[in-house]
Amino acid sequence: MKLWELAAEAETTEAQAQQQERVERFLSGRDVQLDERLARWDVLASLAHARALLDAGLLSPEEHARIKEALVELLDEIEQGRFRLAPEDEDVHTAVENFLAKRLVPLGGQLGAGRSRNDQIATVTRLHTKHQLLEIAAGALGLTAELLKFAEAHAQVPLAGRTHGRPAMPTTVGHWALCYAEALLDALGPIRAALERVDRGPLGAAAGYGSPLPLDRAQTANALGFSEPVVNTLWAVQGRGVVEFWVVSALAGLGLVISRFATDLIELSREDCAVLGLPEAFTTGSSLMPQKRNPDVAEVARARAAALVGKTVELALIVKGLPFGYWRDTQETKGPLLGALDASQELLEALTALVQGLRVNDAQAERTLTPELFATDAALERAQTQRVPFREAYRQVKAELQRGTLRLRVPPPSEWLEARARLLGSPGSLGLAALEGRLSEERAFWRARRESFQSAIQALIDGEGGASR
């Protein structure tokens, strides 16, 4: 039975039942399947709410103990994969409350006091999102660490740098790899900001307008591992969809970095370039052409990263212009959010493993350097040593190249890298130590947040979380 139904309302004719089933299928969409993934967090939120009801005097210690025992048992069923939702359950909140109602007649129904499915889903979604963001950050840091190792190993392997897709100036494979390492570290900034937005507890806001019960929302938020509660009860509910948009926007920024990196992997591993060699397990063959190996993992990664941008648009269009209060439109934000969280984690796992097996053809990389790549060096040398204004030196070099009177050469790497040794972040001075320092700082931040969250959740399960102080 639905949480909002009377027993008499649940009794229907066969025709009414068929019509109701069609409506339920339409309304639930993929929601029942998605909610199964959130069931663990709903049980944890219920544990915190039960403690709040105990502290508010709505449950006796004995009643609280019985509810807690049943919820912990249900949590065990969920973690062992034995918990399933049916379409008639409507959502995970109904399924959990129905479980308690059957198990603890009539006590199970008391857990609905002071909360609504509106603040429940907002809480559950934030808990799941926080957990996933911590995992995604760990994945991004892992990929960054692999790129730093790769860059150090290939710091002096020459490579033609490009602008507009054409050869431009000399660089190194290590310099190229560090570009993406630093980009990933920068991409963690918006993800950290998204975590701060997510890390606030809505529980106790009920349908958006609170309740007359003396519930300690700050204590409940703390018990669930949130840094603080959402202060305004209306925003606690109305923020649904907007918070998801902020999260997915941050992940889309990460996706932009991954997409460009995937494109470089494809381009630099082409047979006519062959600077990079992709691990064979990350390529596939052709059903027609026996000689082909295709960079399918990088191509699919690029497409999935692009889809993250699409999900931000989808979320924005769902919630834009909604009047204040709860609207069921926001149910449709769950799919884009969970999809974006999953895709981000899968992308990072796949590319980390790919980089670990990535090979560099040193000789082929060196062959990409041609004399013309050093034309800028020639102009700058005249500006520096002959005191010729740079623009004049530029014109001289360009004119001599067109006339064929300037003979440029490809100097040994030690020579042109030494000339760049004092310019931080250039091929001659990679700045590895600075980026390793940033990586270490980010690891410390995310590790502390993960450990704090895990500790709070475990204390809640053990019966210590949310205790009165």
Look at residues 66, 96, 113 and tell me which one is the last residue of a structural domain: 113
Which residue carries 């090979």 as its tokens? 359
Number of domain units in the chain: 3
Count CB neighbours of 452 within 10 A: 13
54 domain-assigned = yes
- Note whether 252 and 308 are within 8 A (CB): yes
- Residues designated catalytic: 164, 286
419 domain-assigned = no
Range(s) of the domain holding residue 29: 7-113
The whole-number pLDDT of residue 91 equals 86
User: What tens digit of pLDDT does each residue of 329-343 get?
Assistant: 999 999 999 999 999
pTM (predicted TM-score): 0.92
The whole-number pLDDT of residue 18 equals 76
Q: How far apart are CA 405 and CA 176, in angstroms?
A: 33
Is residue 6 over pLDDT 70?
no
Is residue 8 over pLDDT 90?
no
Q: What is the mean pLDDT of residues 234-257?
A: 97
DSSP type of residue 87 = G
Angle (CA) 57 60 66, round 5° = 135
Q: Do 208 and 309 fall into the same domain? A: yes
Which residue, 408, 360, 377, is CA-closest to 172?
Answer: 360
User: What tens digit of pLDDT does each residue of 45-78 get?
Assistant: 999 999 999 999 999 999 999 999 999 999 999 9
* DSSP letter string, 215-262: --HHHHHHHTT-SEE-SSHHHHHHTTTHHHHHHHHHHHHHHHHHHHHH
The whole-number pLDDT of residue 468 equals 38
Among 8-12, 115-119, 187-191, 339-343, the range scoring the smallest mean pLDDT is 8-12
The whole-number pLDDT of residue 30 equals 73
Q: Do 11 and 145 fall into the same domain? A: no
Look at residues 113, 140, 167 and tell me which one is the last residue of a structural domain: 113
Q: How far apart are CA 123 and CA 42, in angstroms?
A: 8
Among 5-19, 50-64, 143-157, the range scoring the smallest mean pLDDT is 5-19
Among 18-32, 38-52, 236-250, the range scoring the smallest mean pLDDT is 18-32
The whole-number pLDDT of residue 469 equals 29
Q: Do 392 and 362 fall into the same domain? A: no
Q: What is the SS3 assignment for 171?
A: strand
* CATH number, domain containing residue 302: 1.20.200.10
Count CB neighbours of 467 within 10 A: 12
Q: Do 315 and 344 fall into the same domain? A: yes
402 domain-assigned = yes
Q: Do 202 and 77 fall into the same domain? A: no
Structure tokens at 25: 């299928």
- Residues in CB range of 468: below 8 A, 6 or more apart: 55, 219
Which residue, 220, 160, 228, 242, is CA-closest to 200?
Answer: 228
Q: Do 189 and 212 fall into the same domain? A: yes
pLDDT exceeding 90 applies to what percent of the chain?
83
Is residue 160 over pLDDT 70?
yes
Is residue 466 over pLDDT 90?
no
Q: Do 354 and 447 fall into the same domain? A: yes
452 domain-assigned = yes
- Residues in CB range of 78: below 8 A, 6 or more apart: 39, 40, 43
424 domain-assigned = no
Q: What is the mean pLDDT of residues 360-380?
A: 97
Structure tokens at 3: 């949480």
Q: In a 10 Å sphere around its CB, with 0-12 CB exposed, 13-18 middle and 19+ buried, how is residue 118 labelled?
A: buried
Which residue, 24, 180, 156, 152, is CA-closest to 94?
Answer: 24
In angstroms and rounded to an integer, the radius of gyration of the C-alpha atoms of the chain is 29
Q: What is the mean pLDDT of residues 451-469?
A: 80
Q: Do 135 and 279 fall into the same domain? A: yes
Q: How far apart, in Å, are the Cα atoms of 322 and each of 20, 76, 85, 119, 378?
A: 27, 38, 30, 17, 61
- Note whether 28 and 86 are within 8 A (CB): no
The whole-number pLDDT of residue 206 equals 96
Is residue 19 over pLDDT 90?
no
Q: Do 390 and 353 fall into the same domain? A: no
Q: Do 102 and 141 fall into the same domain? A: no
The whole-number pLDDT of residue 339 equals 96
The whole-number pLDDT of residue 4 equals 44
Averaged pLDDT of the chain: 93
Type of residue at 59: L
Is residue 389 over pLDDT 60?
yes
- Biggest alpha carbon–alpha carbon distance for the chain: 97
Count CB neighbours of 346 within 10 A: 14
* CATH number, domain containing residue 34: 1.10.275.10
The whole-number pLDDT of residue 467 equals 44
Q: Do 267 and 135 fall into the same domain? A: yes
84 domain-assigned = yes
468 domain-assigned = no
Q: Do 87 and 45 fall into the same domain? A: yes
User: What tens digit of pLDDT does each residue of 87-116 get?
Assistant: 777 789 989 988 998 899 889 889 999 999
Look at residues 96, 113, 130 and tell me which one is the last residue of a structural domain: 113
Structure tokens at 446: 């995310």
423 domain-assigned = no
